[in-house]
Amino acid sequence: MDYQYLKLAENGTICTVTISAPKSLNALNTAILTELEDFVDHFDCNKYRCLIVTGDGEKSFVAGADISEMANLQMLQAQTFGSRGARVFRKIETLHVPVIAAVNGFALGGGCELAMACDIRICSDNARFGQPEVGLGIIPGFSGTVRMARLIGMGMAKELIYTGRAVKADEALRIGLVNAVYPQAELMSKAIEMATRIAANAPLAVKAAKLCINDEYDMPADEAIANESTIFGRCFLTEDQKNGMQAFLNKGKCEFQGK
């Protein structure tokens, strides 16, 4: 599929996808969601070890969902639109490689929801996060009510969603919505730096760690611990484990092959 709204770049085993609809501040419409879903569906997790998601321009990561498209939707149409966005974001959340959101500028509504679907969020010092939907007579529709509460706690999530208040980068860092804040000029280099560090590790182990963290979040503690033990044991079936530990014992460095 040829993409009109996505720009792709690669740096070794790191892939960057940039959402590019500058006139609407990269607002998500059906066309962009369709392209994003196709991109994720065809993403080569054997070729790439990390994915970076960002937005085009200095003003906006993703300003939200496209209100001009939503304004005249009927109930079932709105449910379809919301389900599409939620489905795409869930695919990002469960992608077999880590996903870093490099948030530049506005991440409101659907933009905040997209960032929250990623494994790690870093942002520029001019970033703004929020779920302003109640001011439009709706609620977050791309799983924002689910992920925000899990990321920053129920009390803070309720405050932000009920009030529609946007938070600046420093507050987003304080409440745990983002992992780090950087000057805008450094954002992408810092994202590449983090992705490079991730990509240098054993890819099967990173994949297993992501699977554990995602799956075990809602498990009872005993079940989660047993699940981790099982997946830990499976790591010892890989060449990466054997080569990595042997390199450590020999005081060397391992180039992991993902086998």
Q: What's 75's domain CATH number?
A: 3.90.226.10
Whether 58 is a known active-site residue: answer: no
**CA torsion through residues 162, 168, 169, 170, sign:** negative
Look at residue 86 and tell me whether its pLDDT is greater than 90: yes
What predicted TM-score, i.e. pTM, was given to this entire model?
A: 0.95
Asked if 192 and 223 sit in the same domain, the reply is no
Boundaries of domain holding 65: 6-199
Domain assignment present for 254: no
Domain assignment present for 11: yes
Indicate the burial class of 22 (C-beta count within 10 angstroms; 0-12, 13-18, 19 or more).
exposed
**CA torsion through residues 163, 164, 169, 175, sign:** positive
Q: Provide the pLDDT confidence category of residue 58 given band limits of 50, 70 and 90.
A: confident
What CATH number corresponds to the domain at position 222?
1.10.12.10
Q: Which of 113, 193, 216, 223 is catalytic?
A: 113
Q: Which of 133, 159, 228, 239 is catalytic?
A: 133
Q: Provide the pLDDT confidence category of residue 217 given band limits of 50, 70 and 90.
A: confident
Whether 113 is a known active-site residue: answer: yes
Q: Quick one: average pLDDT of 180-188?
A: 97
Asked if 171 and 113 sit in the same domain, the reply is yes
Q: Which percentage of the chain shows pLDDT scores above 70?
A: 100
Asked if 146 and 99 sit in the same domain, the reply is yes
Q: Quick one: average pLDDT of 215-242?
A: 92
What does the pLDDT read at residue 66? 86
Asked if 207 and 100 sit in the same domain, the reply is no
- Torsion angle of C-alpha atoms 85, 90, 95, 100, degrees rounded to 10: 70
Looking up tokens 């000029």, which residue turns up?
Answer: 185
| Structural domain count of the chain | 2
Asked if 75 and 126 sit in the same domain, the reply is yes
Domain assignment present for 257: no
What does the pLDDT read at residue 70? 87
